Amino acid sequence: MTCAKAGRGGSGSSPYLLLTIAVAALVIGALVIILFGGKLAQFAGLHLHLASTFVLIWNIVQWPVAIFFVVFCFALIYFFGADIKHARWYWVTPGSVVGVFLWIIASLGFKLYLQFFNSYSKTYGSLGGVVVLMLWFYITGLALLVGGEINAEIEHAAAEHGRADAKAEGEKEAPAA
């Protein structure tokens, strides 16, 4: 079976390429907001003659905006990554919120672990940074999977309770009404 017959690859892979580009742009945007947002707000405040209130408001607003970008990334992955037909778009899903919350908590826990028990550079030498990065990717993948599973369970429960557009477990599209 070729990739084209399986529904992957060929001209059908362009949605996955667009998904990758969109997620990369949103993640880079979130990083820029967090890392350089304060300096950009100060620059805009000085050159556009905005009061220091603008900088204060931006320093408060930048975190919810960055978190929204990450939640939106999770929602995009759950929508376009799922092998289902006739999916409905939701801007924010319970799985994406839980997934992002779990990802943030797990990343902070991993950071705390590395602060106190970091011996990767002693064990792996110059590859220690790569090992740490791969472990963080693994944690990120687990958070994505947990969020996706929460969305799937909510969808299956809705199908069991008779919602017409919900898909039961194992179905790729909702049954015809």
Domain count, the chain: 2
Together in a domain, 41 and 103: no
DSSP notation for 29-61? HHHHHHHHHHHHHHHHHHHTT--HHHHHHHHHH
Residue 48 pLDDT level (bands cut at 50, 70, 90): confident
Residue 112 pLDDT level (bands cut at 50, 70, 90): very high
The pLDDT assigned to 45 comes to 79
Among 12, 47, 81, which residue terminates a domain? 81
Amino acid identity, residue 10?
Answer: G
What average pLDDT does the chain have? 80
> How many beta carbons lie within 10 A of that of residue 141, not counting itself?
11
Could you read off the pLDDT of 92-110 as tens digits, one per residue?
A: 788 889 999 999 999 999 9
Residue 83 has pLDDT above 80, yes or no: no
Comparison of pLDDT for 83 and 26, the residue scoring more:
26
CA distance 70 to 20: 14
Q: What is the pTM of this model?
A: 0.72
Together in a domain, 139 and 167: yes
Together in a domain, 70 and 126: no
Together in a domain, 50 and 114: no
Domain that holds residue 62: 1-81
